[in-house]
Structure 1
Amino acid sequence: MRTIPLGRTGEQVSQLALGCMLMGTSTDEPDSFAILDRYVAAGGSFLDTADCYAWWPGPGYTGGESESVLGRWFARSGRRDEVFLATKGSAWVADPQAARAGRLTDREKYAGAGGDTLRHALDGSLRRLGTDHVDLYYVHVDDLHTPLEETLEALAGLVAAGKTRYIGWSNVTTWRLERIRQLCDRYGWPAPVALQQEHTYLRRHPGRDTVSVVDDEQLRYLQAHDDLTLVAYSPILKGVYDDPAKQRDLGQMHTYRGADSDARLATVGRLAGELGITGTQLVLAWMLHQESPRRVALIGPRTPAQYESTAVGLDVKLDATVLETLDAAGA
């Protein structure tokens, strides 16, 4: 499994990261352990979770299940020191039942990025994970209602206390990211080294406004700032590249739907058929071939079989003609 630099930290991380979002809920513990074992056996070392994973699969789930499963896997395997462990705070949901019913706005739903909130959140994450530190701690959902100075000072304190080695940000606009970096430079606080955003082969429809999806401006920003590494979540869009029903009905497609995406989906289908692989495998391989900016592909398989099928993309080599055809596709 290939590795790439994490910003300018000197760390090398697996270019394929394993998202543990559904572990302990939709994915039971035996399957979770099986996926983790297979990923690490293949040379993977970048694990991603969050304190809020996962309250939404159904009644009885409150968040923290994923971190708890990882903690039990670390205790069983003894492999904590072999992995680069990332978790997130600020998106904890205090009332999952109301959130599942859709009765809360994002501001009402999420805990936010206040200083005390993040300090208590990371302590809770460390208890569930059974470790004294994480390697990377993200602000999960950018909080426009808390002064950035408060959030950044708290994060700097967590780094100084040894509870996290690095910080990152997720679901954030480019202008906010620049403001964060300016404040870190002004006050000498640790700056983010990772940006986790939704990113796939399809391009965001220009009429859709969402802070969570990388757009052309953010990609250009990352090209100019190699101290930030893009961690791309939902790179395979829940299997949409191989499923016409998902192309039609998947909620996430609202962000991408249009003639440009139609053309790109058709190109993926044609090239995957010619290469004898699935569309999912082709898109993952395309992601791993990207160099400007380099990016980590974060997958979250629900079953061991899904992991095995998706991971085939690691071994797919795309020549220049295929890459040029993929990049040129669109309306």
Structure 2
Amino acid sequence: MKRVELGRTGQTVSQISLGCMLMGTSTDEQTSERILNSYLEAGGDFLDTADCYAWWTSPESTGGESEKLLGRLLKGKRDKVFLATKVSALLTDYAAAHASGKGEPYYEGASAKVIRRGIDASLRRLDTDHIDLYYIHVDDMVTPLEETLEALDEIVRAGKVRYIGWSNVWTWRLERIHALTRQNGWRSAPVAVQQQHSYLRPVAGTRNVAGQDMLDYLAATDDISLAAYSPILGGVYEGRVDKPIWKQYAGPDAEIRLAGLETVAVELGVTKSQVVLAWLQQSERTIPIIGPRTWEHYEDYVPAFDLKLEPHHVKLLGQ
């Protein structure tokens, strides 16, 4: 598995990150441990979770299940992984969220109080003394950025967190975050941004997706890595166009790009989703996050760990 630098930190991580969202809920402990151990043996080390994972999986779930399970599974292995978790998307009203099936408008946000409480709770659940990468999970447009950034700077200086990231954020907000950290000398400038990103181009204006404006910004900034969640779009590349996520990517060039993907997949004897993961890894600034629910799902990802695309494949797939 390839290793890449995270932002311009000097810290390297495996270029494929293991999303642990469903571990402890939809994915049982035995399967979670099997997946984690196989991923580590394959050279992976970048684990991604959040304090809210995964409240929506059952009426009894309230978040924290993934962190608690990882805390147990990582005993004796903590120094082998680069551990990322998130804050701001725990809920203030679980009954209402379960009834509606949506977290919004019940996210607790990114106030200083939430961040201070959240980091200590995550450290306790994960049974560790520090988090390697701490994301604001859902950008809070109400709490002043200055308050959020100062609180993040505080927990970095305290040694509880090494690096800061941001997720589900507009490009203009990312630039504002950087400007404020520079002006105030805070250690809370993001080194990673986590957005939905894949091979198909999103429809313009799609929320929480890395659109062309963000891709251009990241190319120009060059000190922030893009952690790409939902890289295979929940099976869209294998024909699941019945899923709502397909509507976000059903743009004017979708069919052309899918045809090119089919050609490359047939030539290499792999699935289209595996080609997508290999294509995303052409950029050392992009780190796709895989999120297997079952062992079989994980096995489907494995061929992409070291899948090589030849120059003519990359040319056929386009930019």
Contact conserved, 2:227 with 2:289, CA < 8 A, in 1? yes
Matches within 5 A, 1:22-171: 22-75=22-75, 78-102=76-100, 106=104, 108-171=105-168
SS in 2 for 1:101: helix
CA apart distance, 1:235: 0.8
Which residue does 1:252 correspond to in 2?
A: 245
Q: Which moved more, 1:268-277 or 1:29-38?
A: 268-277
Which residue does 1:263 correspond to in 2?
A: 256
Q: What is the aligned counterpart of 2:203 among 202, 205, 229?
A: 205
Q: What is the aligned counterpart of 2:288 among 271, 293, 297?
A: 297
Contact conserved, 2:56 with 2:101, CA < 8 A, in 1? no
Tell me which amino acid in the other structure corresponds to 1:218: M
Tell me which amino acid in the other structure corresponds to 2:73: W
Which residue does 1:7 correspond to in 2?
A: 7
Distance 1:267 1:103 in 2: 36
1:227-264 C-alpha deviation (Å, 9 max, x unpaired): 1111111111122211x2x11x1111121123322222
The TM-score, its normalising length taken from structure 1, stands at 0.93
Contact conserved, 1:89 with 1:139, CA < 8 A, in 2? yes
Matches within 5 A, 1:200-239: 200-206=198-204, 209-239=205-235
SS in 1 for 2:314: helix
SS in 1 for 2:253: helix
Q: What is the aligned counterpart of 1:318 among 286, 297, 309?
A: 309
Tell me which amino acid in the other structure corresponds to 1:199: H
Contact conserved, 1:231 with 1:296, CA < 8 A, in 2? yes
The TM-score, its normalising length taken from structure 2, stands at 0.96
Contact conserved, 1:52 with 1:63, CA < 8 A, in 2? yes
Distance 1:105 1:283 in 2: 29
Which residue does 1:274 correspond to in 2?
A: 267
Contact conserved, 2:198 with 2:233, CA < 8 A, in 1? yes
Q: What is the aligned counterpart of 1:240 among 236, 248, 256?
A: 236
Q: Which runs of 5+ in 2 are unaligned?
A: none
Contact conserved, 2:229 with 2:290, CA < 8 A, in 1? yes
1:283-315 C-alpha deviation (Å, 9 max, x unpaired): 111111225xx2111111111221122121122
Contact conserved, 1:241 with 1:269, CA < 8 A, in 2? no
CA apart distance, 1:104: 6.7
- Flag as ranges the 4+ runs of structure 1 deviating above 6 A: none
Q: Sequence identity of aligned pairs in percent?
A: 55
Distance 2:120 2:93 in 1: 20
Which residue does 2:194 correspond to in 1?
A: 196
SS in 2 for 1:193: strand
